Amino acid sequence: MTVAREKNEPRKLPMMPIRDMVIFPFMMTPFVVGRESSVRALEEALTGDRKIFLATQHDASIDEPRAKDIYQVGSICNIVQSVKMPDGNIKVLVEGIERAKSIDVSDRDGFFVATVRTGKHDFEMTPAVEQLMQRVTTLFESYVKLQQSLNYETIIASARMDEPAKLSDTIAANLQIGIEEKQELLAIFDPAARLARIADVLDIEIEKLDLDRNIQSRVKRQMERAQKEYYLNEKIKAIQKELGRGEKSEFDELRKKIEAAGMPKEVLDKTIQELKKLEAMPPMSAESTVSRNYIDWLLAVPWKKRSKETRSIDYAEKVLNTDHYGLEKIKERILEFLAVRQLVKNPKGSILCFVGPPGVGKTSLGMSIAKSTGRKFVRLSLGGVRDEAEIRGHRRTYIGAMPGQIIQHMKRAGTKNPVFLLDEVDKISSDFRGDPASALLEVLDPEQNTTFQDHYLDVDYDLSQVLFVATANVLHTIPPALQDRMEILRLQGYTENEKLEIARQYLVRKQREQTGLSEKNIVFKDDAILEIIRYYTREAGVRNLEREIGNVCRKVARKVVKAGAKHKEEISAQNVSDFLGVPKFRDSEAHEKSEVGLVTGLAWTEVGGSILTTEVQVLDGKGKLTITGQLGDVMQESAQAALSYIRGRAQALGLSREFYRNVDLHLHVPEGAIPKDGPSAGITMATALASALAKIPVRRDIAMTGEITLRGKVLAIGGLKEKLLAALRAGIFEAILPRANEKDVAELPDNIKNSMKLHFVDTMDEVLALALEAPLPTVEVPAEAEVLAAVPQPELGTNLPARQ
């Protein structure tokens, strides 16, 4: 049985509040004193018996604590050593003597003086106390082994003692616990009670250390499969798992984002279901990464966010006119679209397809549409795309699967109604992986794209509010089904005058700014720009024209740097070659004189129109037709059709019916390195054949284009504007055209209509009458009715062939 007697021995001592530490009896502790009140208390103790009362503050952040901010129970300490440092602070070493409780705290001369009372417990050593001491010692040894920050040998040696009070205070001082828990142990005056409390604390701390040890072991096993830099993250995850919290907060945040995304009900249900699956998966599994990426993509795609559209027709017209010169029909169609948007609340997305040669402004026109409507702009280049998955994406079963380019660009746009440019749609190819053009059928069909399904997302996505704009150089490489889903708007090549205006208004200013020049340094005359257009570029657009203007500006910039900022160059037709060198092209010119078998035709190319000379030579032979000049299949067939027409009209040309048996014909189209094809050279080749066989020269001042039939009919052709511009450049002011193209005259530029004399014909006879310098010999030819009457006709009802 323990017999205890408490002695009350009040005494006054200088008091020093301390922070972030609790000093126990029998404990040697060094610390630095810096506060003025603490320095004064220390000096007071040093002038006396070197005894001082140290008590811990409740809140360590308070610099000037009051009595109520300090714990009542502290330790009476003996000042063993004190050293004043250069910065004015004092470094002291104190030894705890006994615990005490402050009864009263007063302020004297700028420091605290505490009236304290010690509490001493005298008791007999009983078996229960001995057993408790042995248990605490054993627990402390286990604790020190687990606590890596303590030196085992030193701590255990100091803890082996027979006095309960000294043992409990020594162990309490070395526990790695919080200030509040240590203060609680200091406040227990009874050694036996203190030992019992320490035993409970040690039990809890040993359990924590065991748990931390297990966590570290688990992390180490995980680190065998992962890189070392993930150690801290993995440890945090393991701790969260042990605490049972997991990643709930992250999942809650995902759930809020899903609910706020504005998804349709079916998509929302699928996303919530995927989130529940993710919660049930181990965080380190590969499946959880796939599932998380899928949810992230569903959240990244815009479901309800829209751009606020600018519906002002005047503003849109101003933007289009500022960015582009000409293109009146295209601008008119865009303004019509905006007008419909004002009248219809939710119109279906339009799919426009700009078709035209390179450099005429197809791509920049799409950007202007976005600018004029206030929508976001995204561009997808389809040139060389040959995999259907580029459009629709890969299914999630594949490693590294991602959505297709449509969904990726919608994510980039961030709104559900952008202007979406499908660039170079005519250059899509296909192979064993599928046909991307077929995948675009659903994207570009207003009736179907409300439920577009990407293979990766595997949910319906509405593309109906997207304004799709496609661009292409030619139409014949685009599948008919895809053409049918788009509104085709053709951008013709620019005329010479249009190029001149574009250069004056846009290109010169742009290149001047890019090269750091001003109007005081360089001036382009109109004749200089025309010289560049005619002899240094050969294109339907203005891309190379801009490049050549940039070349001139760079050379002038070099001169300005050498000669000074006031140097000025005036670019004219006479000095263009000084900057750009010898001309790169020469305009095809009309022949010097009219010749037999030599005809000027008109051709269309992707970079504009050109004149196409056709030559025919008659040789002795056996009726063979030789065709040279790298002509395509269609053009060779046109040559065969022209020859068949000539043979059928042999008598009208003054030829014998058997003329072809004694001659060989060689038809050649010069510039043989350039492939040529198309049916529009039919009347040109027929005229050359007729001229060569009839030995009548063809007029040098006339050009022609048109398709021919076996019966001599002249059919319509395309590219009329470009072909007539080529004739003008060559100095030819008269042209023979199919009658069916007469309707296209209204769309021709005024300079063509005013400068050229156009002949519209229906038959080859009219062509020959206009083209040949002399009329064909007159030969009596039976009328078609007489020829038909001369052919015996079967009687009605007799020997008729069976109906097929």
**Which active-site residues does the annotation give?**
680, 723
Q: What is the 3-state secondary structure (H, E, C) of 271-283?
A: HHHHHHHHHHCCC
Bridge partners (DSSP) listed for residue 7: none
Q: Which amino acid is at 478?
A: I
Q: What is the per-residue DSSP string for 227-263?
A: -GGGHHHHHHHHHHHHHT-TTHHHHHHHHHHHHHTT-
Q: What is the per-residue DSSP string for 718-754?
A: S-HHHHHHHHHHTT--EEEEEGGGGGGGGGS-HHHHH
Tokens of 792: 């015996």
Q: What is the DSSP letter of 543?
A: H
Burial of 49 (0-12, 13-18, 19+ CB in 10 A): exposed
Question: Smallest Cα–Cα separation from 687: which of 769, 570, 797?
Answer: 769
* Contact of 94 with 29, CB cutoff 8 Å: yes
Question: Which run of H or of E encompasses 686?
Answer: helix 682-694
Listed in order, strand segments (DSSP E) in 109-241 are: 111-118
* Contact of 535 with 584, CB cutoff 8 Å: yes
Question: Smallest Cα–Cα separation from 22: which of 187, 168, 147?
Answer: 187
| Cα-Cα-Cα-Cα dihedral sign, residues 15, 19, 22, 23 | negative
Instruction: Give CA angle at 167 (162, 168), nearest 5°.
Output: 140
The CA distance from 513 to 508, in Å, is 9
Burial of 656 (0-12, 13-18, 19+ CB in 10 A): exposed
* Contact of 142 with 159, CB cutoff 8 Å: no
Question: Smallest Cα–Cα separation from 478: which of 466, 488, 492?
Answer: 488
Could you count the other beta carbons within 10 Å of the beta carbon of residue 792?
A: 6
Map residue 98 onto helix, strand or coil: strand
Map residue 603 onto helix, strand or coil: strand
Burial of 507 (0-12, 13-18, 19+ CB in 10 A): buried
Q: What is the DSSP letter of 664?
A: E
* Contact of 511 with 549, CB cutoff 8 Å: yes
Question: Smallest Cα–Cα separation from 48: which of 100, 121, 113?
Answer: 113
Burial of 301 (0-12, 13-18, 19+ CB in 10 A): buried
